[in-house]
Amino acid sequence: MDYLKYLFPFSVVALTGLGLLGGGLWAWTGLGLFVLMVIPDVAADFDFSPRRMSEPGALFMLWLQLLPLAFLWIAYWRLLSGRPDASTLAGAMLSVAIITAAVGLPVAHELFHRSEWISRFAGGLIGTLFFFNYVELEHNRSHHIETSSALDMDTPPRGMSVYPFMPKLILYMHQNSFRQEKRRLLAYGKSPWLSPGSRVLWQILGSIALLAIFDAADGWRSVLAVLATGMLGGAIVTVFSYVQHYGLIRVPGTPIEKRHAWNHTRPISRILTFEIVTHSGHHTDPATPYWKLLAYRDVPLVGSAIGCFFMCLVPPLWHRAMRPHLQRWDEQFASPAERDLARQANIVAGWETPA
């Protein structure tokens, strides 16, 4: 039965693609589906059930998601080739961006955490849709090392709203990934721009290829639409990063433990994101595949990841909702050293006055 659960993200992506083929108001299908998911996910209780899946079956359900993703972007190409009106175009851009970010990027995330080159290549292809196929470099070699510390750009400090966080993280992901690849290749006397094995080169070539394909749809209009969709989708990905690490504290260099991630283990959140929201297990052992991740009870639990996504778009509401969670984290999860850092963070955020 657990295998069938992952037909849900498959169906969401496929229905979004069918909406694009329908045009008009149907182009808003993806956004509408994402909004509708909030109600049952917020209303549901936390889901702590383990996944009972074999490796071949779980991998089949993961790779199966590539089919509707390909269909979605083919449908997007076809819609753009017909020069849609402004309302249809807006709905299509929002739908493609948010569904590719909410479903496609979790699939890519799972793929580039695997060791086989074909999985990492496929994950990079999905990343190309948002013009950062080398994002795994920053994610694996920076975020997973520095997570929840002041050195982690994916962890927003207390009091920061999501809007300045988005461009800051997007810029850092590109800068950090480029620096890592440049340093690796220069050690071998190779150029990051010209070496056939350079992720920088493949990032550039992949982006050019994507834009060339969409240029064939409707010239510069479709190119601009895909550029905007990619940037919007990348921004949406950073919003999910924001809600999963907001305000957490870890002393740099200390072990990463279960307390160093928020967990949004509601049923739809788990299935839609291929278990990324069982975040504590993922960060304590990043090599654990999605079907083996455990939804712990003794970790920092928040609510629905989808609900938190929309809530953080209204910063006053978000900060008010998260402060009790952060206070509980400080009192029940933080080490003494982390508690001192948390107090300083609260002062900087304006939540406490200096002693």
Q: For residues 233 and 96, give the distance between their C-alpha atoms in angstroms, rounded to a whole number.
A: 8
| 144 Cβ contact partners less than 8 Å away, ≥ 6 residues apart | 256, 283, 286
Q: Which residue has the tokens 């750009």?
A: 153
Q: What is the largest CA-CA distance in the chain?
A: 64
pLDDT value of residue 1: 77
Q: What are 301's strand-pairing partners?
A: 263
Q: For residues 70 and 30, give the distance between their C-alpha atoms in angstroms, rounded to a whole number.
A: 15
- Tell me the HSE value of 131 on the side-chain side, using a 13 A CA sphere: 18
Model pTM score: 0.94
Percentage with pLDDT > 90 across the chain: 90
CB 354 within 8 A of CB 346: no
pLDDT value of residue 223: 97
pLDDT value of residue 133: 83
* DSSP-assigned letter for residue 46: P
Q: What residue type is 81 in one-letter code?
A: S
CB 225 within 8 A of CB 266: no
Q: For residues 258 and 274, give the distance between their C-alpha atoms in angstroms, rounded to a whole number.
A: 19
Q: What residue type is 58 in one-letter code?
A: A
Q: For residues 141 and 190, give the distance between their C-alpha atoms in angstroms, rounded to a whole number.
A: 21
CB 176 within 8 A of CB 138: yes
Structure tokens at 166: 């988005």
Q: For residues 331 and 124, give the distance between their C-alpha atoms in angstroms, rounded to a whole number.
A: 40
pLDDT value of residue 106: 94
Looking at 191-314, list the stretches that DSSP marks H as alpha helix, in order from N- to C-terminal side: 199-218, 220-245, 267-272, 279-284, 305-311
pLDDT value of residue 239: 96
Q: Which residue has the tokens 């953080």?
A: 312
Structure tokens at 21: 């083929």
Structure tokens at 274: 């291929």
Q: Does residue 137 sit in helix, strand or coil?
A: helix
Question: What are the phi and psi torsion angles at 111 (to 5°)?
Answer: -70, -45
- Count the residues in the chain: 355
Q: Which residue has the tokens 């659960």?
A: 5
pLDDT value of residue 355: 65
Query: What pLDDT digit, counting tens, does each position of 25-44 carry?
Result: 999 999 999 999 999 999 99
Query: What pLDDT digit, counting tens, does each position of 328-347 carry?
Result: 999 999 999 999 999 999 99
pLDDT value of residue 272: 95
Question: What are the phi and psi torsion angles at 301 (to 5°)?
Answer: -105, 135
CB 105 within 8 A of CB 126: yes
Counting as low any pLDDT under 70, the low residues of the chain are 355
Question: What are the phi and psi torsion angles at 263 (to 5°)?
Answer: -120, 125
